Amino acid sequence: MGSQDKHQVEKNRHFIQALGHAWDGVKDVVKKERNMRFHIIAAVLVIIAAFLMQVNVFEWLWLLSAIFVVFAAEFANTIVEELVDLVVHHHYDLDAKYAKDIAAGVVLLAAFYAVLVGLLIFWPRFKNLLGI
């Protein structure tokens, strides 16, 4: 703790300290970002469905990779939004909008990828359940 206001300004001294900061970041994103909470709910539903439908290991890998791609995209989007707001001091700026829109587009593409993976894995099982 290098500053008088007790905020850390130096590098982490221990791995555990770094993990604590990383965990704080995860908690902050989940707490502050509504869309991240939606992604978590969707992920939990997918995981429950995967257990119930007894997907194989290969399918688990695809599902989990899709979930984590969406999570990573949402974290990256949050970083961009926070940095842009910091730079423009929460005032409208066309370049800031452009950066934020692109970051949001990354999340949209990741979510589209996740939906495609889910459809490829779950659609045949739903068809069998419905007798189609």
From 10, 59, 74, 82, the catalytic residue: 74
Phi, psi dihedrals of residue 9, rounded to the nearest 5°: -125, -5
Secondary structure letter of residue 9 according to DSSP: -
| Beta carbons of 59 and 121 less than 8 angstroms apart | yes
Question: Annotated binding residue at 21?
Answer: yes
CA distance 41 to 44: 5
Residue 74 is a catalytic residue: yes
Question: Annotated binding residue at 73?
Answer: no
The CB density around residue 117, as the number of other CB atoms within 10 Å, is 19
Question: Annotated binding residue at 59?
Answer: no
Question: Annotated binding residue at 101?
Answer: yes
| Beta carbons of 33 and 82 less than 8 angstroms apart | no
| Beta carbons of 66 and 113 less than 8 angstroms apart | yes
Question: Annotated binding residue at 32?
Answer: no
Question: Annotated binding residue at 105?
Answer: no
Question: Annotated binding residue at 76?
Answer: no
Annotated binding site: 18-23, 33, 74, 81, 100-101
Annotated binding site for ATP: 33, 81, 100-101
Annotated binding site for substrate: 18-23, 74
Annotated binding site for a divalent metal cation: 33, 81
For the annotated catalytic residues, the residue numbers are 74
